[in-house]
Structure 1
């Protein structure tokens, strides 16, 4: 299956945000949810199971100049085995214009046993753009081993790369992914990226956030928070607290 969901947000000229494009296909259903502020809020609803082996799903979101767009999901995404041995693909493409803000805050992605998923998230930001991006991966459901999961995250601002990292886990992944230098035996991992123009003048310093999490300044106006934990709940608590502390 191939399916694409598209969201385009534009400033409405009255202090709010309009959604001239809100279109989903197949398992990717989009719903606008109530907002009392200037941001338009959209929820990604899984209308079908997936991604399954061989599927190619894409989410494209654009925040035009002056727009405020917050995107979440209604539930966790399950990467499932399919009838084919071909890997599933899930691509997320985010574009944020000057004086625009985009929050990408989906629920966790769970790598089910015998699944094979390659997820790529790419954010292209204008110089005056703001971004809050959270990704969380869970290796297997309760009591089961995980599938193969490869996750690539790239953030670019004004043509320059702020972050480009890849994590590969599960059967067939390069050795060491479960060792002390990477996941250290934990089953859940999360990343939070915050990019704000004011960080060009001053941004938070590098620091640890408990035993298994850290905040790292990026080479530009952004910071990266990375956390690992035995379960998704503890990863979420660390990332949520970090976002509150960043203000």
Structure 2
């Protein structure tokens, strides 16, 4: 293959299982290429893993993927050591970053990476899908920053899908930057903001006692999903302001 046009292919995989002693084991913890996984100190029954970028990227033409599974009764927390920066590369193709999350019955998965930064000249498509079994719990945070300080953003398309008990709770897509459909930075979408974030929380009790929709300040809102989940969406002038809103929501619901 011509490395100039093909880019890097890499998948990181983590599987968590209840160990039968009140804790969580990690029978699979494997990274590839720019995606390295490191186990860190556990918190009670929860196993914790950090995603560490071993190389720059994703670059143009890269195909990266992360698969995280919390089996029945397991508790898994996945974070990242630093922000992910989408950069232009030698390859002309857009980069792809696919995240697949699976939560078993009576299991909990907390997916809390740092923000994704879309640097000028980059083109990246991100897809995140979470499948939660009946009785499972999920906390999922995504944050995107449009460009680094003082620069225009790259092209970024982000699709988020969440299913609980085989039923769709959320299907959402956002496309922004050069070449995106017109109006992405207008008042109906980002309203000129440079950062956007989502927090999805799935808990069985939300199906029995839905949370009421309400605004969270001037540029954020809480929306109940059609099932055992809630969505918090926040906009901000920068990633720090978005994180503050999502952290507050995380303390209340997560």
The answer, yes or no, to whether TM exceeds 0.5 is: yes
**Where has structure 1 moved over 6 Å in runs of 4 or more?**
none
> 1:15 aligns to what?
22
Among candidates 122, 132, 136, match of residue 115 of structure 1? 122
Other structure's SS at 2:42 match: coil
TM-score for both structures, normalised by structure 2: 0.96
Mapped to 2, the partners of 1:217 and 1:200 lie a distance apart of: 10
Residue 203 of structure 1 and its aligned partner are, at CA, apart by 2.7
> 1:86 aligns to what?
93
CA contact (8 A) 2:128 2:159 kept: yes
Residue by residue, what CA displacement relative to the aligned partner does 1:211-242 show, whole Å, maximum 9, x if unpaired? 00000000001000000000000000000001
Mapped to 2, the partners of 1:224 and 1:63 lie a distance apart of: 21
Residue by residue, what CA displacement relative to the aligned partner does 1:146-197 show, whole Å, maximum 9, x if unpaired? 0000000000112110000000000000011100011000000000000000
Matches within 5 A, 1:161-240: 161-240=168-247
Residue 33 of structure 1 and its aligned partner are, at CA, apart by 0.4
Structure 1: 5+ residue stretches without partners: none
> 1:28 aligns to what?
35
Residue 28 of structure 1 and its aligned partner are, at CA, apart by 0.3
Say what the alpha-carbon RMSD is for the aligned residues.
0.6
Matches within 5 A, 1:55-94: 55-94=62-101
Structure 2 residue 110 is the aligned partner of structure 1 residue 103: yes
Structure 2: 5+ residue stretches without partners: 1-7
Structure 2 residue 132 is the aligned partner of structure 1 residue 148: no
CA contact (8 A) 2:164 2:228 kept: no
Other structure's SS at 1:119 match: strand
Mapped to 2, the partners of 1:68 and 1:11 lie a distance apart of: 8
Mapped to 2, the partners of 1:129 and 1:35 lie a distance apart of: 20
CA contact (8 A) 2:175 2:181 kept: yes
TM-score for both structures, normalised by structure 1: 0.99
Other structure's SS at 1:193 match: strand
Residue by residue, what CA displacement relative to the aligned partner does 1:71-117 show, whole Å, maximum 9, x if unpaired? 00000000000102200000000010000000000000000000000
Mapped to 2, the partners of 1:70 and 1:54 lie a distance apart of: 29
